[in-house]
Amino acid sequence: MAASAIPHKRVHPVRSFLVGDEPMTTGLWGIIFFIFSEIMFFSGLIAAMLALHSDTLVWEPTNGAHRVEGAHVLPILFTVLLVSTSIPMQFAAFAIRKGNRKAMLINMAIVLVVGTAFIINQYFEWSHAGFGISDGPYAATFYTLTGFHGAHVIGGLVFIFAQWLRGLLGHFDAKRNTAIEAATLYWHFVGFVWLLVIFPLVFFLS
Amino acid sequence: MATLAGAQTSGYAGANAWRVILEWLTTVDHKKIGIMYLWTAGAFGLVGMAFSLVMRTELAQTGTIISAETYNSIFTMHGSVMIFLFLLPIGAAFMNYSMPLQIGALDMAFPRINALSFWIFLFGGVLITLSFAAEGGTASAGWTAYPPVTLDTGNNAEPPGAGMDMWLVGVILLGQASIFGSVNFLVTIFKMRAPGMTMWRLPLFTWTTLVTGLLILLSTPVLAAALVLGFIDRNGAGGAFFDPAAGGQPLLWQNLFWFYSHPAVYIMILPAMGIVSDVFGVFTRRPVFGYRSMVLALIAIGLLGFIVWAHHMFTTGGVFLPFFMGATFLIAVPTGVKMFNWIATMWRGSNIFPTAMLFSVGFLMLFLIGGITGVFHAAVPVDFALHDTYFVVGHFHYTMSIAATFGFLAGCYYWFPKMFGKFMNEGLGKLHFWLVFIGVNLIFFTQLLLGLDGMPRRINDYVDNPGWELMNMLTTIGAFVSAAGMMVFLYNVFYSLKWGERAGADPWEGTTLEWATTSPPPAHNFDSLPEIRSERPLFDLRFGEKLQDDPHYHVNNGHNGNGRGGGAKAPTASTREEA
């Protein structure tokens, strides 16, 4: 608990868990609204995919190759890895709320390494897919959805890396950590949109 | 002031101009960004108007002056420029300029992101307009860009070229600017309000900014999704999304597109509604009738706006007609509430009619015609008959184009003294109003009649059915009359900037906080704020003590929180005399 000069009301435990007990800053509000717009963006892409799926007889690439199946070791492994990085990211936020910058940097470094591994795995998945983006509705949605998600993972990693560098320079303490909280929320979004929506729909819809 | 003083020490005369330019290029002040939005959107509006004059010249008589391809390109650019580069950003201009002042904030929540929004918008706008230089010309599939005519994979005789890609990327950029802007507006309203400025005391324009912000936030990303899918479709996916020949669905584009573009209608009209609400609240010398019902109607319009997009697609056969018909009819209810509230505000008010008020009353008339013709369209059988005729063109110009423009022009005349410290010339303003009011009615009422007669839209020629040539000529004359009116406005702007009568801090006896500071306001907006105990803090400041002595008047002490505020009751006859 941060030593706060001004006593404030008890906050809801969920809210306390996600963004701490300090009053919400404008930056946090901003990232929350921005995440809502991101959710709508992915909703648009997912709606397009479901609409195409409902009207396509054979949900396969049109060049004779096969779909990328999710029920294999690597896709499941990297899905679990990506989503589990939400844990060290949240620990980083917990750490800086207590003013522990060193623990924050270590946890963020784990996120950066695993997140980068996810992107590298995605590169290999793409290069071994056996079909291109022009091979029918399935192929086009596969590349569009995994591509835009990958772009958001990269965006999140850049966001976190920038804050990690700031942390190295001695920024952030128990009171001033909006960017870390914001990066954490954004990283949760990136992970869960993959786990709950993109992974099941892109890899298991047949 | 500090800048001018600094410039004077720098030695040579040119330094001053450079310094001013640099200051505007690097500014993060919401007022300067708002004014930049105003100038840029205004310039794009003139460009869009020039396109409409080209079209009206072509349609004045039967026979063709310009080719069908050129005509397609011109009407596409007219729609795109007017919607994406004039109506949407000019709303952002007023929201940027006035909203932080109205809630007593120092600036927006994220001033630098605010500047980023503006520059992304400008870059996207330039990209779209530069497509005239692209091989194959501009986008020419209409502002709705329905595939497969936007694709070059199908059986298009003339597949669109790079101009189409520039259009898609440009609109994605504009959407990004909108989203950043909306996050900014929302956080500013939720977090930056002055002490005492509760939600139920927000001025109505600020409420419209809030609802508009939510609409932008939740609908624009879906347009972005449609646009990126369209871009991928043209550059790689080979039509897999939208071209039926490649397994895609043209209706998918229409659904995604209208999921944004129907709320976009409200994104354009709501800020205009907010402006006229504030203007009525000042120039009738009464509080706006039914403040809370105005807000609730606004929220209802915003919510319903999300479930009616498919009424643009009735004739496709791909949508569930009864639901979308019913939902569309429902929107008439909150809209009617607002309409009657405005009328009730004027009812027995001490109305005065400066140009801002004239444009607000004009807004009511135009919006009434547009709204009622909208209810016609909501009925599926009527829509089947009128789809793709000039009736549609007349309808949507009356509502989102002309009514919204009238709202924004009212905003120009209303806030010009605040922005530049000078009044706009009233004589020229009235000439402007009458020319434009007569002109636009000549254009669009005639178009309604032409549409009822079955004239199809988006074609550069027409058969000489009885009366069509006359009505088209009238429309063209109307277009030039309104253009002349806008030239008067343009002259008025420059005339007033140079020779306008000086305006004080509160030239209109305003009721909201933007009038509590100097004109133009200092960089930090306010040196001090009055107490905020109602949605009309300046009215309270002016009349509060007098009303306290009035036995018929109960001053709202801020404890009962019923939101109607101290100004909710009209001043009695005795206080009016004192005033």
Q: What is the DSSP letter of B244?
A: G
Given a contact cutoff of 8 angstroms between Cβ atoms, the answer to whether B135 and B190 are in contact is no
In angstroms, rounded to a whole number, what is the distance separating the alpha carbons of residues A55 and B296? 40
Q: Which residues pair with B502 in a beta bridge?
A: B422
Query: Measuring CA to CA, which residue among A36, A23, A124, A206 is closest to residue B183?
Result: A36
Peptide bond into B530 cis (omega under 30): no
Query: Measuring CA to CA, which residue among B94, B47, B85, B84 is closest to residue B412?
Result: B94
In a domain, B422, yes or no: yes
Maximum alpha-carbon separation in chain B: 79
- pLDDT by residue (tens digit) across B451-492? 999 999 999 999 999 999 999 999 999 999 999 999 999 999
Determine what percent of chain A falls in helix, strand and coil, rounding each to the nearest 5.
70, 0, 30
In a domain, B553, yes or no: no
In a domain, B382, yes or no: yes
How many angstroms separate the Cα of B571 from the Cα of each of B222, B554, B574, B576? Answer: 48, 11, 8, 6
Cross-chain residue pair B217–A33, CB shorter than 8 Å: yes
Given a contact cutoff of 8 angstroms between Cβ atoms, the answer to whether A77 and A189 are in contact is no
Burial of B169 (0-12, 13-18, 19+ CB in 10 A): middle
In a domain, B12, yes or no: no
> What sign has the CA pseudo-torsion A30, A31, A35, A41?
positive
Q: What is the DSSP letter of B551?
A: T
In angstroms, rounded to a whole number, what is the distance separating the alpha carbons of residues B339 and B319? 30
Residue B481 maps to which CATH number?
A: 1.20.210.10
In the prediction, which pLDDT does B553 show?
Answer: 57
Cross-chain residue pair A137–B220, CB shorter than 8 Å: no
Treating both helix axes as pointing N-terminal to C-terminal, what angle do B30-59 and B404-420 enclose, rounded to 10 degrees? 140
In angstroms, rounded to a whole number, what is the distance separating the alpha carbons of residues B107 and B185? 11
Q: Quick one: which H or E segment has residue B354?
A: none
Which residues of chain A are within 8 Å of residue B220 when distances are taken between CB atoms?
37, 40
Which residues of chain A are within 8 Å of residue B221 when distances are taken between CB atoms?
37-41, 43-44
> What sign has the CA pseudo-torsion B317, B319, B322, B324?
negative
Which residues of chain B are within 8 Å of residue A140 when distances are taken between CB atoms?
232-233, 237, 240-241
Q: Smallest Cβ distance to B232: which of A47, A52, A140?
A: A140
Which residues of chain A are within 8 Å of residue B113 when distances are taken between CB atoms?
30
The two three-digit tokens of residue A66, written as one number: 């096969």
Which residues of chain B are within 8 Å of residue A24 when distances are taken between CB atoms?
191
The two three-digit tokens of residue B513, written as one number: 């906080």
Which residues of chain A are within 8 Å of residue B254 when distances are taken between CB atoms?
none
The two three-digit tokens of residue B574, written as one number: 């005795």
Given a contact cutoff of 8 angstroms between Cβ atoms, the answer to whether B334 and B298 are in contact is yes
Give residue B354's identity as a one-letter amino acid code: P
Helix (H, G, I), strand (E, B) or coil at B456: strand
Q: Is the pLDDT of residue A6 over 70?
A: no
In angstroms, rounded to a whole number, what is the distance separating the alpha carbons of residues B301 and B324? 15
Query: Measuring CA to CA, which residue among B33, B192, B37, B215 is closest to residue B100?
Result: B192
Given a contact cutoff of 8 angstroms between Cβ atoms, the answer to whether B178 and B266 are in contact is no
In a domain, B539, yes or no: no
* Angle in degrees, CA B142, B56, B121, rounded to 5: 45
Q: Is the pLDDT of residue A2 over 80?
A: no
Helix (H, G, I), strand (E, B) or coil at B134: coil
pTM of the prediction? 0.91
Residues above pLDDT 70, as percent of chain B? 91
Number of independent structural domains in chain B: 1
- Range A8-16 average pLDDT: 78
In angstroms, rounded to a whole number, what is the distance separating the alpha carbons of residues B373 and A92? 57
The alpha carbon of residue A32 is apart from the nearest alpha carbon of chain B, in Å, by 9
From chain B residues 377-436, the ones with a CB under 8 A of any chain A CB are none
In the prediction, which pLDDT does B155 show?
Answer: 59
Domains and CATH numbers, chain A: 21-49+69-204 (1.20.120.80)
Cross-chain residue pair B255–A29, CB shorter than 8 Å: no
In angstroms, rounded to a whole number, what is the distance separating the alpha carbons of residues B9 and B40? 32
Q: Smallest Cβ distance to A41: which of B224, B236, B248?
A: B224
Q: Smallest Cβ distance to A56: which of B221, B223, B247?
A: B247
Helix (H, G, I), strand (E, B) or coil at B174: helix
- Residue B562: count of CB within 10 angstroms of its CB: 10
Most A CBs within 10 Å, among B215, B228, B259, B267, to test the A interface: B228
Confidence of residue A57 (pLDDT cuts 50, 70, 90): confident
In a domain, B538, yes or no: no
In angstroms, rounded to a whole number, what is the distance separating the alpha carbons of residues B306 and B331? 11
- pLDDT by residue (tens digit) across A73-124? 898 999 999 999 999 999 999 999 999 999 999 999 999 999 999 999 999 9
How many angstroms separate the Cα of A22 from the Cα of each of A12, A175, B186, B520? Answer: 12, 8, 21, 37
**Residue in the structure block whose two tokens are 């890895």:** A81
The two three-digit tokens of residue B452, written as one number: 């009822």
Taking CA atoms, what residue in B is nearest to A34?
B183
Cross-chain residue pair A148–B228, CB shorter than 8 Å: yes
The complex's ipTM works out to 0.92
Q: Residue ranges of the alpha helices (H) in B379-514?
A: 380-386, 390-396, 404-420, 426-452, 468-499
**What's the domain range around B377?**
26-529
In the prediction, which pLDDT does A64 show?
Answer: 85
In a domain, B535, yes or no: no
In angstroms, rounded to a whole number, what is the distance separating the alpha carbons of residues B204 and B563? 13
**Residue in the structure block whose two tokens are 């009812």:** B347
In the prediction, which pLDDT does B8 show?
Answer: 44
Q: Residue ranges of the alpha helices (H) in B194-249?
A: 204-232
> What sign has the CA pseudo-torsion B342, B343, B346, B352?
positive
Query: Measuring CA to CA, which residue among A6, A14, A22, A15 is closest to residue A173?
Result: A22
The alpha carbon of residue B561 is apart from the nearest alpha carbon of chain A, in Å, by 22
In the prediction, which pLDDT does B431 show?
Answer: 97
In angstroms, rounded to a whole number, what is the distance separating the alpha carbons of residues B304 and B366? 22
CB of B241 within 8 Å of a chain A CB? The answer is yes
Which residues of chain B are within 8 Å of residue A135 when distances are taken between CB atoms?
240
CB of B228 within 8 Å of a chain A CB? The answer is yes
Given a contact cutoff of 8 angstroms between Cβ atoms, the answer to whether B366 and B406 are in contact is yes
In the prediction, which pLDDT does A184 show?
Answer: 96
- pLDDT by residue (tens digit) across B351-379? 999 999 999 999 999 999 999 999 999 99
Q: Smallest Cβ distance to A36: which of B218, B237, B241?
A: B218
- Measured CB to CB, residues of chain A less than 8 Å from chain B are 24, 26-27, 29-30, 33-34, 36-45, 47-48, 51-52, 55-56, 62, 133-137, 139-141, 144, 148
Q: Smallest Cβ distance to B179: which of A29, A37, A48?
A: A37
Query: Measuring CA to CA, which residue among B121, B134, B184, B192 is closest to residue B163?
Result: B134
Cross-chain residue pair A41–B109, CB shorter than 8 Å: no
In this structure, what are the phi and psi dihedrals at residue B404, rounded to the nearest 5 degrees?
Answer: -60, -45
In the prediction, which pLDDT does B154 show?
Answer: 57
Cross-chain residue pair B183–A134, CB shorter than 8 Å: no
Q: Which residues pair with B196 in a beta bridge?
A: none
How many angstroms separate the Cα of B496 from the Cα of each of B486, B490, B520? Answer: 15, 10, 14
Treating both helix axes as pointing N-terminal to C-terminal, what angle do B162-191 and A26-55 enclose, rounded to 10 degrees? 140
The two three-digit tokens of residue B516, written as one number: 């509590």
In angstroms, rounded to a whole number, what is the distance separating the alpha carbons of residues B298 and B304? 10
In the prediction, which pLDDT does B26 show?
Answer: 94
How many angstroms separate the Cα of B503 from the Cα of each of B103, B276, B412, B518, B527? Answer: 22, 21, 14, 10, 19
In a domain, B78, yes or no: yes
Peptide bond into B148 cis (omega under 30): yes
Determine what percent of chain B falls in helix, strand and coil, rounding each to the nearest 5.
70, 0, 30
> What is the block-wise mean pLDDT of chain B (579 residues), using blocks of 10 residues?
43 75 94 97 97 96 92 95 96 97 95 97 95 87 90 70 93 97 97 94 96 97 96 89 89 96 96 97 94 96 95 92 95 96 94 96 96 94 94 96 97 96 96 97 96 94 93 97 97 96 93 94 93 90 73 49 43 43
